[in-house]
Structure 1
Amino acid sequence: MLAEEAEQQILDQVWELGPSERALAHEVDAGLRDMVGPPDVQEALAPIKRLERLRETLAVLAISLARTHGRLAWFLSGALNALEPVLRWRALPVERGGSFGTVLASAEEYREAEEAVRRLQDVLVKIAAQ
């Protein structure tokens, strides 16, 4: 829904970005592409590497959010919120003691999160091209 709302605002010319916001959108897109690649590449990775890349995606979004305001900040905040479950995932089994509320993510959960990142990438390309 987040991507659809952003695309509609762009289409309706409600969301008009300045040059610095377009540059940041391009930078965020590039950062996300470094973290999450095509499905075949991602699925070939070990779960721990997939989780690492998803967490790095959250870091890219958070750092970018700190550098902007207005609609782009709201969009990035929504993206972080949508990907928040990744923060509770772990890739390692628990040998002893608790896991601080973390859970092992399923292959489907990894696929869904990575697809969400790809969708964000597509919208960021549209934003940067505005």
Structure 2
Amino acid sequence: MDMRGAVAVLAEEAEQQIQDQVWTVAQSDRALALETEARLRDVVGPPDVQEALPQIKRLEHLRETLAVLAISLARTHGRLAWFLSGALNALEPVLRWRALPSDGGGTFGTVLPSPEEYAQAEDAVRRLRAALAQISAEC
């Protein structure tokens, strides 16, 4: 399953748990979800904006996404933490990406992603933002 699909599954599960009242979203979780969504919005913009950036900037933004998620994960427990952990796991391939040529040296196992892989990861972040916005809106 690709990153988009993995994030979609997470979002659907969160929505179902909230709907079934398995997950009662606490006010602190709503606030953190809202804050995380806003930070992700600042990092990964609309497709036309992201696609116009050099690949090194796109990778920088995706790595910053992982940092935002990790910091949010460190600040919570329970179902929101599990959701954020799943999101980090879904976006994990970004950790092995590089934007610079190897110039004949070793790359520590990193790979050059394709334009489609960048787009897929950015779409996954946008879907994640939408799920966090929904979580933050739950009463």
TM-score, normalised on structure 1?
A: 0.98
Deviating above 3 A after TM superposition, structure 1's stretches of 4 or more consecutive aligned residues are none
Residue of structure 2 equivalent to 1:27:
35
Which residue is 1:48 aligned to?
56
- Measured in 2, the distance between the counterparts of 1:7 and 1:116 equals 16
1:24-58 residue CA offsets vs partner (Å, 9 max, x unmatched): 00000001001111111111111000000000000
Q: Which runs of 5+ in 1 are unaligned?
A: none
Which residue type is aligned with residue 124 of structure 1? Answer: L
Kindly report the root-mean-square deviation, in angstroms, between the aligned alpha carbons of the 2 structures.
Answer: 0.7
- Tell me how far apart the structure 2 counterparts of residues 13 and 115 of structure 1 sit (CA, whole Å): 28
* Corresponding residue number in structure 1 for 2:84: 76
Q: CA offsets, 1:71-112, max 9 Å, x none?
A: 000000000000000000000001131000000000000010
Q: Which runs of 5+ in 2 are unaligned?
A: 1-8
**Cα distance in 2 between the residues matched to 1:115 and 1:11:** 25
Shift of residue 10, structure 1, vs aligned partner: 1.6
How far is the alpha carbon of 1:19 from its aligned partner? 1.0
The letter for the 1-side match of 2:51 is E
Does the residue aligned with 1:57 lie in a helix, a strand or coil? helix
Secondary structure of residue in 2 paired with 1:37:
coil
TM-superposed CA distance for 1:18, in Å, is: 1.2
Q: How many pairs align?
A: 130
User: If the length of structure 2 is used for normalisation, what is the TM-score?
Assistant: 0.92
Name the structure 2 match of 1:104: 112
SS of 1:90's equivalent in the other structure is coil
Give 1:10's aligned residue.
18
Contact 2:18–2:25 (Cα < 8 Å) also in 1: no
1: distance between equivalents of 2:121 and 2:67? Answer: 15
Identity, in percent, stands at: 76
